[in-house]
Structure 1
C-alpha cells in the first residue's frame, strides 16, 4: 500500500516499528507501534527526550490505571529533577482554552524552556489539550503523545491537529502542531470500556468505507475485535496498522488542510453538531457513526450508492454496537444546520463525503443537491433502522 521512498522524499514509509511521514512541505514525524512502552527496559519513549526537561500531563483515569508505572518508568529512564508529572481534567466539558492556559501556566511555573518537551499520556482530549498548549507555549515547543485509547491510536494519534471547543462549536480553536513522536501500545486497549472500543471502531470503519474494502470485510467478519479475550492479536495488529497507514497516506499531501475537500472528513459533517447538541451524551465515535449512516442513505437516495452497499455499511455499524440514529438529535432542522455550518467552515463548498461503494467515496459540494425532502427521507430510513436492527441507539 505504501510506495517505498528514498531518504527525504515526501510520503509515508512503513517499518517494523511503525510509520514515518514527511509531507511535501517538509513536516516530518513518526507514529510508532510497540508493546510495553512503560516498561523501564523499553527505551522508545525516553529516546524522544534526549536529556531535555519534560513535563508530563495525564488525566485522572490514566493516572489511576497507569500513573505508578509511568512514574517508575520516568524515574528509571530520566535524570532526577528533569521531569515532573501533572494531572489535568479530562472530558469534553474541560476541553477548553482555559484548560490549555492552565497547562501553559504549569509549564511556566516549572520553568520549562524552549528546548523542553511536553508529554501527553491519555486519549484524544488529553492529546488535543497538551498539543495546543505546546503549540502556544513560547511560540511552540515539542511534544510527544502516548495514546491510550483506540480513537487516540487510529485517529488523533496519527494527525497534526490540536484544538479545543469554543463558542458552542467543536474544536473551534486550535493549531496544526505535529507531535515529534506518537506512541501506540495495543496493551492499553485492554483496560478500555467497551463503549470506548466501539468509538474507536467507528473511526476505523470510516477509513474502511472510504479507502479499503478488505479492511471493511475484516471488521464485518470480526465485530468483537479488541473486545474479547479470543480475538486474534495478529488480526488486531492488521486492523490497527492498516487504519493508521490509510489515515497517514490520506493526510500526508494535505497535512495542514490547504484543500478543504478531504475524504477523511467522512463522518465529520453532521457529526460535530450531533455531538455538541447532545451535550456530549453522544460520544465522538458515536457521532461519526450516525453521520456515516446518514451520509450513506443520502448517497443511496441520490443514486450514488446502491441499496445493498448502503445496507452493508449500516449493518456493520449496528453489528459493532454503534448508533445509527438518535431521535432527539437527528432532526431535520439540526441536520440542515450541520450542512450550513460545514458550508461556512469549508469555504462555501459543502465537501460532504459519501460512499459510492465500500472502499471508495466521492464529494457532494453544493447545498442545492441536498433538498429538505431528501434529507428527511434519509433520516426516516435511519429511524426505521434504529427500530428494526439490534445494537442501535446511544449508550446512556
Structure 2
C-alpha cells in the first residue's frame, strides 16, 4: 500500500453492536471491529469492548451513561483532567446517575505515586463513599490513573467493576485496550498487579488535542512498537507523517497532510494501532505464554525508567529500548542495516530519545537483560525486528555476548548525537 491509508476502517457487513456491553460477534473468538470500536472474545471466554466515540462527556452522549447503569459511582481523575474536563464530567454524572449516587476524587499522578499506598488510598475513599459490590469505580485520565484504579477495583471487595475513560494517546492505544493493572514496588516497575478486564474502556480522540507534545510522542512510541513488529503499512504512514497528532499549521512536504485530512490520518493510525494490539493480546490475554511480540521495547525500558529516577517517561524509555533492540538485531545478523536505520530514524524524527547516557551502560543493560530473563521464567524472550512489520525472539542470555551489547550501545550513543535532515 506504500503507506496509503486503507479505504475502509469501519465495520464489516457481518459485525455490529446493539448497545453498551451488547456486542454481536460472528466468530467464536477474536477481535471484531465496527464503526464504534472493537470487541474482543478470548479463547477462555473473557470478553470486553473498547469504544471510540466523539463527545464522550457531552450530556447528550449516552454511551458512558449506559455503562454506568444507575450504579453507585466513585470517580477518580488526575489534576490535569480535573482542570480541563472536571466541570464537564461532574455535569455528565449529574445527568446520568441518580442524585447522590456519585462522588469524584482528584488523585495525584506520576510514576513515583504509582504505589500500593495509592491503591489503598483509592480503596479507602471508595469505602468512605459507601461503594458497594454492585457499584463501580470510574477512572478518567492516563495510564497511571487507569493502572491504580484498575488494581484497586480488582481487589476491592474481592473485585468490582471499573470503567476507563482514556484521555492520553498511551492510554488509548495501549493501557486502554488490555486487561493488565499494576503498580511499582520493590524497586521494580509494575511488580504488583492483576489481570482485571474493564467493564468498559472509552476513547474520545478529541481528548488528544489538549495533550502536551511530550505525551503525544510517548503515545507514538507505543504505536511505532506495533508498526515495527506487525504492520509495515502503518510504519510507512508514520515515516511520512512523524508529526501525527500534533497538527502543524505548515511544514515541509514530508510533514504535509495533502492526501488526507489530519482527522482521517489520525483515525487510521489510532484504529490500526488499537486493532493490532487487541489481536495480538487476544489469544494470550493472561500471558500464560511469556513470549509476547508486544513486549518489544519492554525488556530494557523498565530499568531505564527506574534507574533513571523516572526522568524519562515510559514511552521515551520504550523508544530507547526499541532502538537498542534494533541495533542488537543488526549485530546478531537478524536484521539488515536498513531495517535498523529506519526504526531508529523514525523514533528520532518523532522527537523521541534513542539513547540515555545515564542508564545505557553495559552494566545496567546487562542487569536489565538478567532481570527480564528471571521475570520471564528463565527465558529472555527479547523481541527484535527482523524487518519492518516482522519480529523474532532472542531466547537465551548467552545469545547476546557482552561485546555485542557494548557495540550496540556505542552505535546507540552515536545515533543519539546524530541529527536528521
Please give the range of the TM-score, normalised by the shorter of the 2 chains: over 0.9
**1:82 aligned partner:** 101
**1:18 aligned partner:** 37
Q: Distance in 1 between matches of 2:59 and 2:67?
A: 14
**2:228 aligned partner:** 209
Q: Distance in 2 between matches of 1:236 and 1:229?
A: 13
Structure 1 residue 229, shift from structure 2 partner: 4.9
Matched-pair contact (CA < 8 Å) for 2:217–2:350:
yes
**1:268 aligned partner:** 298
Provide Cα deviations, 1:293-341, integer angstroms capped at 9, x if missing partner: 0000000001100001110000000000000001111000000000000
Q: Distance in 2 between matches of 1:111 and 1:320?
A: 46
Q: Distance in 1 between matches of 2:217 and 2:320?
A: 13
Matches within 5 A, 1:161-310: 161-229=180-248, 232-310=262-340
Q: Distance in 1 between matches of 2:420 and 2:389?
A: 25
SS at match of 1:236: helix
Q: Unpaired runs of 5+ in structure 1?
A: 392-396
State the superposition RMSD in angstroms: 1.4
**1:369 aligned partner:** 399
From 337, 360, 369, the equivalent of 1:339 is 369
SS at match of 2:90: helix
Q: Distance in 2 between matches of 1:364 and 1:296?
A: 12
**1:148 aligned partner:** 167
Matches within 5 A, 1:132-147: 132-147=151-166
Matches within 5 A, 1:119-138: 119-138=138-157
SS at match of 1:253: helix
Q: Distance in 1 between matches of 2:248 and 2:203?
A: 20
From 100, 103, 117, the equivalent of 1:98 is 117
Q: Distance in 2 between matches of 1:345 and 1:328?
A: 24
Structure 1 residue 224, shift from structure 2 partner: 0.7
Structure 1 residue 91, shift from structure 2 partner: 0.6
Provide Cα deviations, 1:11-32, integer angstroms capped at 9, x if missing partner: 1100110000010011111101
Q: Distance in 1 between matches of 2:106 and 2:329?
A: 45
2:79 aligned with 1:60, yes or no?
Answer: yes
Structure 1 residue 7, shift from structure 2 partner: 4.4
Provide Cα deviations, 1:134-192, integer angstroms capped at 9, x if missing partner: 00000000000000000000000000000000000000000000101100101000110
Provide Cα deviations, 1:64-86, integer angstroms capped at 9, x if missing partner: 11101111111122211111111
Q: Distance in 1 between matches of 2:269 and 2:131?
A: 38
SS at match of 2:63: coil
Q: Distance in 2 between matches of 1:133 and 1:85?
A: 15
Structure 1 residue 389, shift from structure 2 partner: 2.4
**1:394 aligned partner:** none
Q: Distance in 1 between matches of 2:91 and 2:122?
A: 23
Count of residue pairs the alignment pairs up:
391
Superposition misfits of 4+ residues, deviation over 6 angstroms: 1-5
Pick closer, same or farther for the CA change 1:335–1:42 going to 2, 3 Å: same
Matched-pair contact (CA < 8 Å) for 2:140–2:167:
yes
Provide Cα deviations, 1:17-58, integer angstroms capped at 9, x if missing partner: 000001001111110111110100100111101111111001
Q: Unpaired runs of 5+ in structure 2?
A: 1-8, 16-24, 250-256
From 142, 151, 157, the equivalent of 2:176 is 157
TM-score (normalizing by structure 2): 0.91
